[in-house]
């Protein structure tokens, strides 16, 4: 695991700036202040001040109106931040079945406060739970079913039991909220990657004459599902 000692004197705000710079550099080959301001939703003057601080700490090389590049030290710190983010988000989405949007926000917050020991333990716990040799082949499946059963019990106690349906039976124009996704762990992960997760609201836009495919809107974008896929999604 990376050496977290490098993060000792860097505030969470500057970690966010360095993280954004690193992500831009990796994904686009370069980073510019205008893009940083847009991504972080801050004023250009705030970006300029942050860049000056990061340059003073020898984490980036930067000249006004030019591209921004991480130094070797900056890259090491960015890698640590990135690894912490990936570890937390992976645990939230793959083990706790938190939707990607919520997990992303939580991971961006937790990465600043989490200690090296906790980060490592989260990673090891995830490895333990998903390793067929140590935990068996159906541990994640059992955990998923446990979450569903406990959620049902909680909903019964607070009197919020709502009728549930298969997504495949909804008609165009109808709205619903995803309650459960059936299928094995591979199928559920595929749906998660598509943005389909528990608690997300969907709108059925069109249904082909024979019921296949079904077009829905989720999180503001359109998605087409086979009827067999829609039959695995329980909504309410």
Cα(65)–Cα(77) distance, rounded to whole angstroms? 24
> Residue 227 pLDDT more than 60?
yes
140 contacts 96 by C-beta, under 8 angstroms: no
Cα(101)–Cα(42) distance, rounded to whole angstroms? 21
Cα(22)–Cα(141) distance, rounded to whole angstroms? 36
pLDDT for the residue numbered 208: 84
Hey, which residues does 94 pair with through a beta bridge? none
| Cα separation of the two ends of the chain | 43
More confident residue, 46 or 6: 46
> Residue 214 pLDDT more than 80?
yes
Residue 116, classified by CB atoms within 10 Å of its CB into exposed (0-12), middle (13-18) or buried (19+), is: middle
**172: phi then psi, degrees, rounded to nearest 5:** -55, 135
Percentage of the chain with pLDDT > 70? Answer: 92
Cα(152)–Cα(136) distance, rounded to whole angstroms? 26
Element (H, E) at 31: none
Band (158; pLDDT cuts 50, 70, 90)? low
pLDDT for the residue numbered 5: 42
* Record: fold of 165-235: SH3 type barrels. (2.30.30)
Element (H, E) at 81: helix 72-90
> For residue range 143-156, what is the model confidence (pLDDT) as tens digits?
888 887 887 777 66
Q: For 37-41, 86-90, 160-164, 208-212, which range has the lowest pLDDT when averaged over its residues?
A: 160-164
pLDDT for the residue numbered 166: 79
Instruction: Kindly give, in sequence order, each residue whose CB lies less than 8 Å from that of residue 64, ignoring residues fewer than 6 positions away.
Output: 48
> For residue range 164-173, what is the model confidence (pLDDT) as tens digits?
777 887 888 8
Element (H, E) at 89: helix 72-90
pLDDT for the residue numbered 156: 66
Q: For 2-6, 124-128, 135-139, 221-225, which range has the lowest pLDDT when averaged over its residues?
A: 2-6
Q: Where in the chain is the domain with CATH 1.10.10.10?
A: 4-128
More confident residue, 70 or 171: 70
- In CATH, the number for domain 4-128 is 1.10.10.10
As given in the structure block, the two tokens for residue 177 are: 């909220």
77 contacts 7 by C-beta, under 8 angstroms: yes
Helices (H), 115-218: 116-130, 132-135, 139-157, 185-193
Element (H, E) at 86: helix 72-90
Residue for token pair 């829905």: 216
Could you give the angle at which helices 33-40 and 12-28 cross, rounded to 10 degrees? 120
pLDDT for the residue numbered 150: 80
* 78-94 average pLDDT score: 91
Q: Where in the chain is the domain with CATH 2.30.30.90?
A: 165-235
């Amino acid at each position: 695991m990376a050496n977290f000692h490098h993060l000792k004197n860097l505030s969470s705000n500057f970690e966010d700036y360095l993280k954004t710079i690193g992500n831009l550099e990796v994904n686009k080959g370069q980073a510019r202040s205008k893009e940083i301001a847009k991504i972080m939703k801050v004023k250009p003057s705030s970006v300029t001040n942050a860049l000056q601080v990061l340059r003073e700490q020898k984490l980036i090389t930067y000249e006004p109106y030019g591209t921004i590049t991480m130094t070797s030290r900056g890259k090491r710190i960015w890698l640590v931040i990135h690894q912490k983010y990936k570890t937390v988000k992976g645990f939230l989405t793959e083990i706790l079945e938190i939707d990607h949007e919520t997990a992303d926000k939580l991971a961006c917050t937790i990465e600043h406060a989490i200690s090296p020991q906790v980060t490592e333990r989260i990673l090891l716990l995830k490895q333990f739970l998903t390793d067929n040799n140590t935990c068996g082949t159906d541990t994640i499946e059992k955990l998923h079913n446990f979450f569903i059963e406990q959620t049902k019990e909680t909903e019964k106690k607070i009197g919020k039991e709502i009728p549930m349906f298969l997504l495949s039976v909804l008609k165009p124009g109808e709205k619903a909220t995803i309650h459960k996704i059936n299928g094995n762990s591979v199928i559920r992960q595929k749906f998660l990657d598509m943005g389909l997760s528990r608690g997300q609201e969907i709108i059925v836009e069109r249904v082909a004459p024979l019921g296949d495919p079904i077009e829905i809107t989720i999180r503001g974008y359109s998605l087409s599902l086979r009827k067999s896929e829609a039959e695995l999604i329980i909504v309410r």
